[in-house]
Amino acid sequence: MKDSRGLSNPKVHTIRDGVYAITGLYHVSGGMGTNAGIISSPEAIAFIDSGMTIASAQFIWNVAQSKIGGDRPLYLILTHHHSDHVFGMRVMKEQGSKVIAHSATCKFLENDNGKYKQFIRNLMNWSSEEADRILGDVWLSVPDLLIDVDTTLHIGTEIQLLVTPGHVPSSISVYHPSSRTLFAGDTVYEGLPLTTRFGGPEEWQVWISQLERLKNLDIELICPGHGNLCRKKELDRNIEFLADLMVKMEQG
């Protein structure tokens, strides 16, 4: 699928007043969209991921403006360092958001100078004009606040940042207890094969243990990194996917 606007057909889901999930944002794969989230309180707005394109991030920003509005402190939580979650970050950053991520994102985001965009351009075999038209003027930077362990944010509502490595070492999942929502990033996929190529059996075992940990949370709804909004039982499908993969590896 070619989308020269870099937006695709995102859907906005109201989880409850002030808490939104956005699914089906542009992804280079065509078939699989990218998701993002917004958690707000009267005191602040936190964005969860920024999409793969500047157009995606602007869409997310406009959702917040139209549904929440107001002038309050802004945060952007990056669930990990991959292009489909961070390429829109300049939009939130230019609006004054403080960016929060795992410290393992740093080496991928610092001194980027367009290198990651160039990498995607090469991967997709795009001309420089196509890359500009689809991805937009991507500008990556080191997050303002780095975490290494589970961290709770109090921004008028409690947000738990849970360090959940497996997909990549920089993976975090964002849990909002008062709406019982988990914004899982690529720790959870809905209805799709998991992207496991960034690790091997050792990392997949860690991933399973993190999914087991997430099962202990009181969850009503999961916004995965990719796929539709889902229920807690999707955690079991993800665990089974990884366990099956490990068995297949052992059998060679």
Using the minimum distance from each CB to Zn ion, give the nearer residue, 158 or 203.
203
Site string for Zn ion, 168-197 (x = CB under 5 A): ------------------x-----------
Structure-block tokens of residue 18: 């002030």
Contact by Cβ (8 Å): 60, 22 = yes
Q: Strand, coil or helix: what is 131?
A: helix
Establish if 225 lies at the interface with Zn ion (CB under 5 A): yes
State the number of binding residues for Zn ion (CB under 5 A).
3
Establish if 51 lies at the interface with Zn ion (CB under 5 A): no
Which of these segments, 60-68, 88-96, 124-132, 224-232, binds Zn ion (CB under 5 A)? Answer: 224-232
Residue from the set 49, 84, 190, 234 that interacts with Zn ion by CB under 5 A: 84
Using the minimum distance from each CB to Zn ion, give the nearer residue, 44 or 117.
117
Which of these segments, 150-158, 197-205, 220-228, 231-239, binds Zn ion (CB under 5 A)? Answer: 220-228
CA separation for the pair 19, 200 (Å, rounded): 35
Q: At CB < 8 A and 24+ separation, what contacts does 191-198 make?
A: 191/227, 191/228, 191/230, 191/234, 192/32, 192/226, 192/227, 193/241, 194/167, 194/238, 194/241, 194/242, 195/167, 196/167, 196/242, 196/245, 198/167, 198/168
In the complex, what is the shortest distance from the CB of residue 102 to Zn ion, in angstroms, rounded to a whole number?
Answer: 15
Footprint of Zn ion on this chain (CB under 5 A)? 84, 186, 225
